[in-house]
A = this chain, B = another copy of it.
């Protein structure tokens, strides 16, 4: 049974800054700085079909060009990364990643159009959610003792 994301510690903390949206805000985890994080998951029965873990992995694949490097950047085993991508590929109408055969990057892995669309859509949803709730989030944050 694959748990995609441990809620805490958070895989995003290990992601390069540029692969994070403003919705995911600041990668620093310095004490004393309030950060809001919206996370969306789509579950299919017992499985998290789409969630922050798989999206972060797709972004890492896109950035690194291989599952090995992507897994390493997320401090994840190759096996786990492979299983997550395989599960994701099978849950979508079309695969999100494909092996890059031949050429100088032979043996690598890259996002398909479907994969890129998925990432874009997911990050846009997070941003929309954050924008829509800005006032209430500010209100909630103001309830915290600083």
Contact = CB atoms under 8 A, between A and B. Distances in A.
Interface of A: 7-8, 29-46, 48-51, 90-93, 114, 117-118, 121-122, 124-125, 128-133, 136-137, 139-141, 143-145
B46 A8 contact: yes
B8 A30 contact: no
Copies of this protein in the assembly total 2
Given A90-B145, A144-B50, A35 B43 contact: yes
A130 to B, nearest CB: 8
Contacts of A130: 129
A33 B40 contact: no
Among A43, A117, A141, find the residue whose CB has the most chain B CB atoms closer than 10 A: A43
B132 A131 contact: yes
Given A8-B48, A32-B44, A43-B34, A93 B143 contact: yes
A144 B42 contact: yes
